[in-house]
Amino acid sequence: KALFLLLSTLVFAVHFKSQAQNPIIKHIFTADPAPLVYKNKVYLYVGHDTATVKDTNYKMPDWHVFSSKNMVEWEDHGMQLSPKAFSWAGGDAYAAQCIYRDGKFYWYVSTGHQKNKESKGGMAIGVAVSDSPVGPFKDAIGKALVTNEMTTDKKHGWDDIDPTVFIDDDGQAYLFWGNGSCKSVKLKKNMIEMDGEIQVLDIKNYIEGPWVYKRKDNYYLIYAGAGTKPEMIEYCMAKGPQGPWVYKGIIQGNVPNSFTTHPGVIDFKGRSYFFYHNGSLPTGGSYRRSICVDDMHYNEDGTIQKIVETAI
C-alpha cells in the first residue's frame, strides 16, 4: 500500500509539473495567443495590453514572442513587431498568427489602416516575414493584404481583424478572419496574395477570433462566439477546409474578468493544448488580459471535450 501511495504521488507530481501555471505570462499583460510548433519548440505570438486600470478601451502597441521547450518555462523574446513596421498602418496591434512555410515565417496581423487612396481607414490585415521564428520581421508586401474596402459584408470598420492561416496537406493555404462574420480566401503559394474570391461563411454564433487546423481526418474552426454576453469558445468541424462547417458546441464558457477570449490550439509532444486569455491577474481586466493554457481532449469521433481551466 505504501508503494502504491508513493507511486501515485510521483505520478501526480510529474503531471502537475508538466502543467503550465496560469496565466503563463505574468510580467506583462498579453492577449490573443497564437502558438506555433516548430522544431521541438512552441513559439507563442501574442498581443500586448498596456491599458491602465482606468482605461475603457484597448491600448495594444505591439506584438511579442515567447518560446518553450516544455510548456512550463517560457523564454521571452521581447517585442518583435509593431504596426510601425507597416508604412500603411496606424493604430492598435490586434490579434495575429505566425505560420511557417518554405523556410520563412509569415506573421499575419490585424491593425488599423491609415486613411489614404488605398483605404478609407478601419482595420486591415498585413503580413510580416522573417527567416527566424523570433524575428526580425519586416512588412512582406508593402501594403495591406486585406482592407476594409475589399470585403462587402460590412458590419463596421473593424470587421477585418483576427487572421488565422492554415496550410492543407496538398499545400493549399487559406486565410480565415473577421469580426461579425467569418471570411475565408485561398492564398497563393507565396503566402502574400489572395487566390480567388473572398467567401463569407455561415457559422453559428460566430463573433471573432477564428483558429483553423486539421487533426487526423477532421478540420476544425474554433472561434469566440456568444454575442452580447462575454465571449465563449465554440467550434465547428468539417471534412475539408472549405466546409460545410457543422456546428459542434461550446468548449469553453466565459473566462474570469474579461469580455473577450481567443483560442489557439496545438498538439505538442503527444499532448493537445488550448491557449486562451482571461483577466485573472490581480489588476487584470478586459483590457489587461493574460494568456493561459490548458489541456485539450478529443473524443473518439474527433469532437472536443469541454476545457477544464486550471487557475493561478
Q: Which of residues 81-100 bind ligand FUB (CB under 6 A)?
A: 94-95
Q: x/- binding map, residues 142-171, to ligand FUB, per CB under 6 A?
A: -------------------xx---------
Amino acid at 170: D
Name which position in 97, 260, 278, 280 contacts ligand FUB (CB under 6 A).
260
Nearer to ligand FUB, 47 or 135 (CB): 47
Q: How many residues sit close enough to ligand FUB to count as binding (CB under 6 A)?
A: 13
Give the bridge partners for 298, in sequence order.
304
Exactly one of 49, 62, 208, 234 is catalytic; which is it?
A: 208
Q: Which of residues 268-307 bind ligand FUB (CB under 6 A)?
A: none
Helix (H, G, I), strand (E, B) or coil at 256: coil
Query: Is 294 one of the annotated active-site residues of the chain?
Result: no
Nearest distance from C-beta of residue 58 to ligand FUB, angstroms: 5
Q: Which of residues 53-82 bind ligand FUB (CB under 6 A)?
A: 58
Grid cell, residue 260, equals 473577450
Query: Is 73 one of the annotated active-site residues of the chain?
Result: no
**All residues at 6 or more sequence positions from 52 whose CB lies less than 8 Å from its CB, including other chains:** 59
Residue recorded with cell 491600448: 59
Nearest distance from C-beta of residue 300 to ligand FUB, angstroms: 31
DSSP for 111-162 reads EEE-SBTTBSSSEEEEEEEESSTT---EESSSS-SB-TTT-SS--STT-S--
Exactly one of 32, 49, 231, 234 is catalytic; which is it?
A: 32
Nearer to ligand FUB, 110 or 278 (CB): 110
90 burial via Cβ count (<10 Å: 0-12, 13-18, 19+): middle
Nearest distance from C-beta of residue 278 to ligand FUB, angstroms: 11
Nearer to ligand FUB, 65 or 161 (CB): 161
Amino acid at 105: F
- The total of other beta-carbon atoms located within 10 Å of residue 163's CB is 26
**Rg of the chain over CA atoms, in angstroms?**
19
Residue recorded with cell 512582406: 140
Nearer to ligand FUB, 58 or 235 (CB): 58
d(CA 200, CA 195): 15
Under DSSP, the state recorded for 59 is -
Nearest distance from C-beta of residue 286 to ligand FUB, angstroms: 9
Peptide bond into 263 cis (omega under 30): no
**All residues at 6 or more sequence positions from 91 whose CB lies less than 8 Å from its CB, including other chains:** 83, 111, 112, 113, 123
Helix (H, G, I), strand (E, B) or coil at 84: helix
Q: x/- binding map, residues 196-235, to ligand FUB, per CB under 6 A?
A: ------------xx--------------------------
Nearer to ligand FUB, 168 or 294 (CB): 294
Nearer to ligand FUB, 95 or 146 (CB): 95
Answer yes or no whether residue 47 interacts with ligand FUB by CB under 6 A.
yes
* Catalytic annotation, residues: 32, 208
Binding residues (CB under 6 A) for ligand FUB: these are: 31-32, 47, 58, 94-95, 110, 161-162, 208-209, 260, 262
